[in-house]
Each structure stands twice: as C-alpha cells, then as structure tokens.
Homo-oligomer: A and B are copies of this chain.
Amino acid sequence: MNTSTIEIRVRYNECDPMGVAHHATYPIWFEMGRTEHLRSQGRLYGDIENEGLFFVVVDLHVQYKKSVKYDDVLSLATVVEDCTPARLRHSYVLTKENEVIARASTTLACVDSKGVVHRFPESLVR
C-alpha cells in the first residue's frame, strides 16, 4: 500500500502571533509523514542514512486552505506518487475533522554524503 496516515497535535511554539500554525511548520509535518510512511513499509530512514544515502527535497509545493490552532489534532495522509531511480515524489493531504487544511507535494533526490546524486534504493523504485 502506498498511503499512510499519521496524527499530529499542533504545538504551541509552532503557532505565530496570528494564533495559527506558521506556514513554515507544514514542511516539517510532511517530513514526519515521509518518515512514518517508510516505517510502514518496514524501512527506517535512519538506516538509509547509515548506509550513506540521503534523501533531499528538491521541490516543495504547498497550498494552504485553512488555518489551524494550538492543540488542534490533525490527520496527515502521505502518498508515494512515483518513484523512479532519479526522483521520489510524494503528495500530502492535511485534514482536521475531515476538512482539508492543506494539500502539498514534494520531490526528493537521493545523494551521498558529498552531495553526489545516486539512484534511489532498488526496493523503493516501482
């Protein structure tokens, strides 16, 4: 299955003077979604780094639909849209009580510790 869902509770420090979660917090949540999606497939991102490979974000697109507040409980669905040897694309839907808060997508590349581009591990490519 290529979708996984996690629950996120908005932290106080993640909110700004408008009283809502700051927009730069969302990419952090999406990264948590990727971590848990990998885990749901029996992989740990930490293991991948220990093997000398790093996944770097090369493209990020977020559409913010509604704001959320401190202590709100959100649901984040993370989907692997595509994985070629060169690119790993995810999409995200963040909801609160079934209302869409944000939609987003990221594209990742795979590099080694010196920043040299590598192919994604075979097990992730479909």
A residues near B (Cβ < 8 Å) are 11-13, 15-19, 22-25, 27-28, 31-32, 35, 44-46, 49, 54, 56-65, 67, 69-71, 113, 115
Contact = CB atoms under 8 A, between A and B. Distances in A.
A67 B56 contact: yes
A28 to B, nearest CB: 5
Given A17-B15, A49-B17, A23 B71 contact: no
Contacts of A11: 28, 31-32
A23 B115 contact: no
Given A28-B13, A35-B12, A69 B56 contact: no
A61 B61 contact: yes
